[in-house]
Chains A and B, each alone.
Chain A
Amino acid sequence: MTTPSQTVGPFFGYGLPYEGGSELVPGWRPDAIRVRGRVLDGAGEPVPDALVEIWQADGSGEIPRRPGGLVRAGHDFSGFGRCPTDAAGGYWFGTVKPGPVGEGAPYIAVLVFARGLLKPVFTRLYFPEDGAAHGTDPLLAEVPAERRATLIAEREGEREYRFDIHLQGERETVFLGF
């Protein structure tokens, strides 16, 4: 019964991105973090026509149940963000670090759509400072040790993280089969 997926194609740029899509919270908030990275193909080349979406809990680990993902009012936290990649394959989000939900380590759910992807890839972004919690995270426990690092962002500065997404190749990001 399920409707099959098709690629987002190269021309979504005037249809899906919207103003403020990357900025879940304004940068002046003391708890704001910044995540940036690149989407790369199997040859290590940037993917300039990808769309990255994130979905996450708020700082206290509560899953947002309120609108505000499309129109950023500057106060409520909607938990959803969307960013098209630029010519260098780059994307960024201004958000808050999610609190832990349940037993697992805190993470941001990440979806990537692109020309050449007939269906999206689904992954998780974990934070480098949560090493202890990673040890008991149920999902990370199922990921082969040598690939686990692909799910953990790098710290780039005070409240700044880097998370590159390799669609293919030696450092292919772990994608989830939901």
Chain B
Amino acid sequence: MTDPHPPYLSPGYRSTVLRAPARELVMPKLGPDSVELTSPVFGHQELGRLDNDLTRQHSGEPIGERIIVTGRVLDGAGRPVPDALVEVWQANAAGRYPHLADQHPAPLDPNFTGAGRCLTDADGRYRFVTIKPGAYPWRNHHNAWRPAHIHFSVFGTAFTQRLVTQMYFPGDPLFPFDPIFQSIPRQEDREKLICRFDMDTTVPEWALGHQWDIVLGDTPMEA
């Protein structure tokens, strides 16, 4: 199967130049061992009840377009992964992160931090309520802008399946210009990072719904 992931070195994304490993990776003949084939267990008691609702973490309502983002975490064989920890973080509607290093002159929203987490249910499903993030500039090259995205971090059943990625929105005009999105070699793989607007997920008079499934790498024992 063709590797869907970007290569480490992708010079269009300048920060890869000094950070991409240059030596060949070591591929152990025996594959991962029993530690690497397992993954931490997370419990519901470790999460807050509203951790998956990014619109209710402050006293007021955040500014922006309220959205629902939901989908399933699946393993390489298409089976749901229950009790998987899914963490998200994102910019606010104006394209600003509440991070000291973010110098974009767009307003912060006192009612929006932009971080959430949840555990998948028995069907592998996660669900977040949030605000549609804005695009924002970065200094990779002249007039560089990131397409709107939500960062996702996911645990599978093996530590080797650990995935950090970004979910994008359909039809973003910035896709062709974004070296991070374009670092994925094949267009069909890039498209796996784009969520799908879904009328059935949309809640009348309240929020637009988006579906996005996350497929982890093969459970290494089956590789």
Contact = CB atoms under 8 A, between A and B. Distances in A.
B32 A178 contact: yes
Interface of B: 4-8, 10, 13, 15-23, 25-36, 38-43, 45-47, 76, 78, 85, 87-89, 91, 97-99, 101-102, 113-115, 151, 153, 159-160, 162-166, 180-181, 183-184, 189-190, 192-193, 213-218, 220
A165 to B, nearest CB: 10
A52 B184 CA distance: 23
A98 B89 CA distance: 32
Tier of interface size on chain A: 35 or more
Contacts of B88: 15
Given A11-B102, A43-B18, A142-B29, A5 B35 contact: no
Interface string A105-131: 001010101111111111000000000
In this complex, the member of A2, A42, A104, A122 whose beta carbon has the largest number of chain B beta carbons within 10 angstroms is A2
A3 B20 contact: no
Interface string A154-178: 0000000000000111001111111
B30 A177 contact: no
* Interface of chain A: mostly helix, strand, loop or mixed: loop
5 contacts: A6-B181, A67-B46, A118-B20, A169-B22, A178-B36
Given A16-B89, A118-B7, A168-B21, A3 B42 contact: no
Given A2-B218, A14-B97, 14 more contacts: A2-B4, A6-B164, A8-B153, A10-B99, A12-B151, A55-B159, A115-B19, A118-B8, A118-B183, A121-B21, A138-B30, A167-B21, A168-B19, A177-B26
A171 to B, nearest CB: 11
A116 B13 contact: yes
A85 to B, nearest CB: 12
A176 to B, nearest CB: 6
